[in-house]
Structures are given as structure tokens and as C-alpha cells.
Structure 1
Amino acid sequence: MENNGKVTLFSLASIIFIEQIFRVLQGSIDILVLGKVSNDAVATVGLINQIMALSIVFVGIAILGTNILFSYYYGEKNFLKMSGTMTSGIVVVLFAATVLSSVLIVFSKNILLLMGLEDSLVELAIPFFIILSLSIPIQGINSIFLVYLRNVQKRRLIILALMIGTTLNFCGNIASLFLFDSVQKIMFAIAIMTVVSHLIPFCMYGYFITKSKIVQLKIKHISKANIKEIVLLGAPTAAEQFSYMIFQLFLSWVVLSWGIEQLQAKTYVQTWSEFIFIFTITIGQATQILLGQRLGAHKIEEVVPIVSRSIKVNCTLSLLLGILLYSVHKQLILFYDINDSIAMLIASMLFITILLEPFRAINVNLISSLYAMKDSKFVFISIFSLWGIVVPILFIFKNELTVVDVWILMVGDELFRSILFFIRWKQQLKKRLRIRVTKKPSTESIS
């Protein structure tokens, strides 16, 4: 097997964390450079980036399903099924990304107007939007390639590709400021460099995988059964993520009805808390891969220790980072020159965040563990909790709540879901153990 060493939670988490950091950097470079040119351009690109984020969620159907299956077959050391999973995953990604990219390009003007962009900025935004839409299939295939590279722990290749792509993107963006004198030309150049930053990893990852002895990306390995399983595993997650994004828009609408200051407090706290979630999601994804490999290798006895350890690590890290964020909130408030009324809301919300983030970490870990067990139907628990409990409470008590009360409500929501996820996890664990016990006698009788 192509592996740089023993697969551990830390080794996988370190790879994923580096990816996340570079992804954040790449997303920030365009905004940083355009901030020197035009505030309108910054607002336009920020809006387009939100649309692109939603698009990646749609393509993520194939990415998640491929990740679950590949990790399992990697642990099983089944090279043929690994090849089938990778090839089928690429087919699903290409289909979904091509359809989505085409829709975004054809209806680019209508979409931008629907999102509330002013008529004067639409013509400025369309070329940038179209170029980024063309890159969606490349980003999707890159994510499928990363499924393989994470499992075989090709950390140096991942870092090198992301570093080259990010550096070229930054240098190209800076150069565009000196080479062009119009905002539209600068935005066009920045869009091209963003695509280049995705093409570099695409070429490097693709070249390495074509030389791999583990997988062979050939048409004959495309499997209808794999395609079906990939979609069935990934579709519920996409539905849950879309549900969460719509809920956030609804929540912003509700909070805004209480006053612009409360919405500003919500925006600041969510932005500052984002770095905690990067760590949380990193450990969750690493747990999923590690667990999938162990299940594929039929090492059921290692499942509980892996999940228990990852939950402890994730909760502890989230708690410490939450405390750290709260301890520096006064400095952040001074830096952003936030007025006293908003500062009081932020202080209360960040104090509640100390309790909120560990519960969120538990949920992320349990969700990732259930995915590793090929259980994706549980995600509807989140949809039920948000729209069946949280939303009705917000409607009923809308005139009596503040944004601080919403944060307390979110703690209750995360706690409620963690209990349901834990029950589901125990059920799946017992089911796995029963399957293993019932298989043993038949195996022994055959031998």
C-alpha cells in the first residue's frame, strides 16, 4: 500500500487541517486584493463566493459518498473496489458539476439579480461568475483525488500543490493591480488566477494517481452499483446542509427584525467562532476516514476507542478555543471599534459559545462516525430538530427573544441532537457487532 506511515487520528487531522487553512487563504486572497480597488467589487465577489459555496454542497453528494466507500475498501485492501469507487465517484462529480456549471452560466444574470445585486454591478460580475462556474468540475474532481491522497497520507504532495496554487493566485492577483487600470479587467484576471489555483493541484494530483499501483481510473471500473451507493450515501447530507444554510438565512431575517445591532453581533460572533469550527470539522473528517479503514479491515474492536478518543480530543480543543476566544473578546471589540450595546451582546454570546462548541464537536464526531458505518439517514434528525423545534420556538416567542436567547436555544438544540445521535450510534454499533457474530459460525463451518 502507498502509505507514508501508520494511519492515526493526528496524521489524518493534520492533512485535513492544512487543506482547510489553504482553502481559507485562497478564499480570502481575492477579497483582500479587490479591497484595494473597489468596495463594490468586494461586495460582488463576496456574493459570488456564497453561490459557489452552495454549489460545492451540491457536488459534495459524490464527494462524501466516495469518501465513505473508499475508506472502507482501503481498510479491506480491495484494490478493485477502490478503483471502482474512485472512477464512479469521478463520473458522478463530473455529471453533477457539469449540469450545475451549465445552469449557473446560462442563468448567470438572473441568479445575480435574484440574489439582490444592483443592475449596475451585474455586468461587472457576470464574467467573474462565469469563469468561476467553469471551475466547479475541476474543484469537484480535486476533492475526489483528495479522498485517495488523504487515505494514503500523501501530506507532502497535498501541501506542495496547495502552496504552489495559492502562491500563483496571490502573485497573479497582485500583478493584475499593476497591469490593468479598470476594475472589470482586474476582476477578470483575478478570476483566471483563481481557476489556475485549482488547476495546479488538479494536474499534480492527477499525475500522481495515474502512476498509482492502488487504483486504476479506467472506464471498465465504472460500476452502476457504486454510483447508486455513492448517491444514496451523499444525498441526505446535501439535503441537511442545504437545510442548515436556509435556516441561517431565516435566522438572520428573524434577528434583523430585532434590530441591526443584534444582527451585527451575530455576524461578529459567527465570524470569530469560525476558526473553532475548522478544528472541529477537521477532527470529525479524520475520524470518519480512520473509522472507515478500521471497519473495512474488520477491526470492530477498535471502533469504540477511536470514537471515544476523537470525541474527547474534539471536546477539549473546542472548550479551550472557546475560552481563548472569550478571553480576547475585549481586544477584538476594541480593534473593530464596536459600540457598547453590541459589545454587551457579543460578550454574552461568546460566553455561551464556551458551552456551545463542545456540544457541536460531539455532534460532528458522532455524525462522522455514523457516516463511516454507511448510515446517512440519521441526518434528518438535524432537519427535524431545526425545523420541527427551533423554528417554531422562534416564531412563537419571536417578540420576546434576543440574539443571546437564540445562542442559548442553539445549545439546547446541539444537546438534544447529541443525545439522539448517541442513541443512533449505539444502535449501529450493536448492529455491527451482531453481524460480526453471526458471520463467524458460517465462516468456521466453511473452513
Structure 2
Amino acid sequence: MKKERQGFGLWVLAWPIFIEVFLQTLLGTVDTLMVSRISDDAVAVVGISNQLFGALTTLFTTFAGGAGILIAQRMGSKRFGEARTIAIMGVSVSLILGIVVSIILFFYAGPIAGILNISPELLSLSNVYISYVGGGLFLVGMIASLGTAIRNTGNTRGPMYTGVIINVIHIILNYIFIFGMFGLPQLGLAGIAISSIISRLVGVIMLYTMFRGSFEIKIRLRDFRIFNGKLFKEIIKIAWPLGINSSCWVFSQLIVYSFLAALGAEALAARTYLNTLESFCFTLGYAIALAGQIQIAHLFGAGKLKEAYRSAFRTLYIGLAIVTANMLLLFLFGRNLLGYFTSDPRIIAIGISLLALNLLLQPCKMLNMAMGNALNAIGDTRYTMYTSIVSMSIIGVGCSYWFGISLGWGLTGIYCCMIADEYVRGMLVLMRWRGRKVLRQADVLKSDENASIHRGSKRRASLSI
């Protein structure tokens, strides 16, 4: 994006991200509603498969995420050429990794379903869904990496417009392929796979066109051969802890879903339906947190350290207010909303039992997201990685199995452990941010640089005399 068209205000960044994420959430809801017309078993397959896809997508979008932070920092320090090079490398590496993952999913859907503890009666459905939706997963990586690069230049509207078009195409094609409109056969889950691939391909084309013009020098295909070792090391330094952090979360969720699968299809379907409703409540809070990360990275790159520190708390307070209000609405109307997805009284009862726990879970997630993103924005990604490894493995996974499976507390026990995990990580990243370790180091470095510049100016002045 051209410099004069950039904007790094919190709301300027946040509202297009909100609309984009809201539409993604809406797309997932429409998918779930349409799949629920096939069967609750199909919903269970989609729920656990999407957890797998989320985990694997993280593996090949992490590099782009690290690149995105550095893009925003470079834009803040006016080093636009370096921002362009970082963006190109971020997209290139994500594409290569995405293709490798897609090939594995396409050819090894059966063994992967076995690893996920998918019950035998669901295997035929899971093989279709994992093979074809997973086989096109590299398109998701391309959308994420291109969108991340564009967004961190300050242009959050472009990915939003793309999201609108992707959603419209996907919903229309879902309806056509799943239910066999216009004389076509009813394809069921295979129809979702086809519509996903087509709509995502359109999104990649749109974002790539936008990406080419996001910097002062237009990006061409031959530019993807660019490799800058120094900048690559900088990306890796931020990206590998960021990747382990994100991977810990998505893989812990995947393991928890495998626990739910062991509890039965009803628990798995209930969690999938409730997760869909939770996503709507959390969408605006997530958008605020992501916008805050971009803004803090930009301020940090510009050397505005006090403003960066205050921005994190502003992001947190706004996000908490929004998420809490939304969760209260879900608590009040959750029973009626669950009825739109399923008529099974046991599944509805399970979902209702979790609504009160969500009043505790979602604010903890907002705390963790806002302060964790703030640390990531200034490059302090190793700390968030360490807290994730310890808390998620011991509390998120270990305690979930102990309370949920071994002690027989079921889904309620697993939810209590999820709350404890989010709370512990949230408090740890909050204390780290309040300690200002990285900000103080940057302030000292900035003072040394200014002193060096001042000494150089005095020497030049004395020589001129």
C-alpha cells in the first residue's frame, strides 16, 4: 500500500478486520448449518477435521506471521524497501510449506483419521472431507500469508473486501453442491470441499493482485526469487517461537477434540455447535487484539515506546468490554440458538451446560490474546512460547485428560481446565508486559543511538570550524 494511504489507528485497523473475521465466522456457521442438514455425524467430522486443518495451517503461516510483525515495524521506521523484501519471503515460504502439507493430507487421510480417534462409523465421511478439503489447504495458507502482508502495511480493507467475495461465492456453491441444485447430484461433504477450493482460489487471485501493488515498487513474479539472509534470520528469530506458541494452542485443541471424540459423537457435535456460537461472540475482540498488534509493532518500529505500552492496555480494556457483553447475550439466548443447529435434546443439553462456563472462559482468552499479541508485536515471542508450552501441556492437555476422561467429569471437566489454562497464560503475559523488559532495552538502545548521532554532529561541527 502506498505510504499516503496507510492508517495505523486502532479503530481504522480494527473495523475491516472485524468484518473480515465476522464473515469468516459466518461462513463457518453456514457450513455447520448446511452440514447439520446432512447429519450430526457429518458435523462431528467437520468439527474435528477443522481443528486438524487449523493446526496444520499454523505450521505454514507462522513464517508469514513473523514476517507481518517485521513489516509493520519496518513501515513504522520508514524502511519500506526492507518491508517489501520481508513480505515477498513470507509469502514464498508459506506457499512451499502449504503445498507439502496439502499433499500429505490428500494421500494419507485414512491414517490421519485413525490418529484423531475418529470412530469407525465416521471414517467414510472423514476420508472424503480430509482428502479434498485438506488437499486444498495450501490455498488457505496463501490467503493467510498474502492477507497478513497486506494487513501489516496498514491496509486492512483490502483483505476485508476479499473476504466478502469469498464468503458469497462459498455460500452459493455450498447450496448448489450439497443439495444438488440445477440438476446436479447431491454431493454432501464432497460438495463443501469443491466449493471451498473454488472460493479460496478466487480469494488467492484477488489478494495476489492486491499484494503486487502494496509497496512503492510493484512486486513481479521474478521478485519471488529474492532472498536476503539477514532479513530471513530476523524473520526466523521472531517466527519460530511464534510458531511453537501457535502450534501449542492448535495442537492442544486438536488433542482435546480427540478426547471429545472418545466421549462420543454427541459431545463432539455439542462442542462444535457451541464453538460456532462462541466465535461470533469473540470476533470483535479478536479483531481489536489483531489491530492492536499491528499498531504496537508500528509504534515500536517508529521508536514511540510509551505510546506502544499504553496501546496494549487500551486494546485490552476495549476487548474485555466487548467480549463480556457478547458472552452475556450468548448466555441468555444460547438455548434458542442451539436449536437452530440440532433438534437432538442430548446435544442441546450438553451445550446449555457449558454456557455459564463460557462467561469465565472468553474474558480470559481476551486477556491472553491482547497482551500476548502486544509482546509478539515487539518481538518478545520466546516468552509467550515458554508460557504456552508449560501451561498448555500441563493444564490444557494433561489436566483435561485427568479431569475429563480419567475422573469422568466429561466435557465440563475439560472446559474447567481450558479456563484455568487461559487464565494462567493471561496473567503471565500481563505481568511480562507490565515489566517492560523489551521496551526498556529498546529505550536504552534508542538513547545510545541518539547520543552517537549527537557526538557525530559535534565532531563534524568542530571540524568545519
Is the TM value for this pair above 0.5? Answer: yes
What CA distance in whole angstroms lies between the structure 1 residues aligned with 2:182 and 2:351?
45
Q: Any stretches of 5+ residues in structure 1 without a counterpart?
A: none
Report deviation, 1:61: 1.5
Range with bigger deviation, 330-339 or 350-359:
330-339
TM normalised by structure 2 equals: 0.81
Take 2:16 and 2:330, find their aligned partners in 1: how far apart are those partners?
A: 24
C-alpha distance 337-310 of structure 1, shift in aligned 2 (>3 A): same
> Is 1:89 equivalent to 2:113 in the alignment?
no
Could you tell me how far apart the structure 2 residues matched to 1:443 and 1:69 are?
24
Letter of the structure 2 residue corresponding to residue 87 of structure 1: I
What is the alpha-carbon distance in structure 2 between the residues aligned to residue 28 and residue 50 of structure 1?
A: 15
Greater displacement, 278-287 / 33-42: 33-42
> What residue is the counterpart of 1:421 in the other structure?
429
1:27 deviates by: 3.4
In the TM superposition, what are the counterparts of 1:103-122 in structure 2 within 5 Å?
103-116=104-117
Q: Which runs of 5+ in 2 are unaligned?
A: 458-465
Give the Cα separation in 2 of the matches to 1:342 and 1:56.
31
CA distance 1:413–1:143, change in 2 (3 Å): closer
Match of 1:231 in 2: 236
1:209 counterpart residue number: 211
Q: 2:9 aligns to what? A: 8
**Amino acid corresponding to residue 442 of structure 1 in structure 2:** S
Q: Structure 1: how far apart are the matches of 2:87 and 2:150? A: 11
Change in 2 beyond 3 A, CA 1:307/1:215: farther
Cα distance, 1:416–1:154 mapped onto 2, change above 3 Å:
closer
- Matched length: 445
State the partner residue of 2:392. Answer: 386
Question: Is the alpha carbon distance of 1:128 and 1:73 closer, same or farther for their aligned partners in structure 2, counting shifts above 3 Å?
Answer: same
RMSD between superposed Cα atoms in Å: 3.7
C-alpha displacement at 1:422, in angstroms? 2.4
CA contact (8 A) 1:255 1:263 kept: yes
Map 1:273-288 onto structure 2 (within 5 A).
Answer: 273-288=278-293
Which stretch of structure 1 is more off in the superposition, 285-294 or 159-168? 159-168
Pick which of 200-209 and 280-289 moved more. Answer: 200-209
Matched residue type, 1:178:
M
Matches within 5 A, 1:166-205: 166-176=167-177, 177-179=180-182, 182-184=185-187, 188=190, 190-205=192-207
Cα distance between partner residues in 1 of 2:194 and 2:347: 43
The alpha-carbon distance between structure 1 residues 105 and 76, as it changes in their structure 2 partners (threshold 3 A), is same
**1:91–1:358 Cα change, 3 Å:** same
Matched residues in 2 for 1:254 and 1:315: separation?
A: 30
- 84-93 or 46-55: bigger deviation: 46-55
**Per-residue CA shift, 1:355-396, capped at 9, x if unaligned?**
433232121111101111111111221221233356565677
How far did residue 124 of structure 1 move? Answer: 6.5
Q: Distance in 2 between matches of 1:162 and 1:269?
A: 23
Indicate conservation of the 8 Å contact 2:312/2:370, yes or no: yes
- Indicate the residue corresponding to 2:75 in structure 1: 74
Question: What CA distance in whole angstroms lies between the structure 2 residues aligned with 1:33 and 1:394?
Answer: 31
Residues 327-342 of structure 1: matches in 2 within 5 Å? 327-329=332-334, 331-332=336-337
Amino acid at match of 2:150: L
**2:454 corresponds to 1:444:** yes
Q: Contact 1:34–1:42 (CA<8 Å) still a contact in 2?
A: yes
In the alignment, which residue of structure 2 is the partner of 1:306? Answer: 311
Following superposition, the deviation at residue 283 of structure 1 comes to 1.4
Cα shift at 1:313: 0.5
Change (3 A) 1:40 1:254: closer
- Identity of matched residues, %: 23
Distance in 2 (CA, whole Å) between partners of 1:344 and 1:109 is: 29
- The TM-score, its normalising length taken from structure 1, stands at 0.84
- Is the contact made by 2:20 and 2:164 (CA closer than 8 Å) also made in structure 1? no
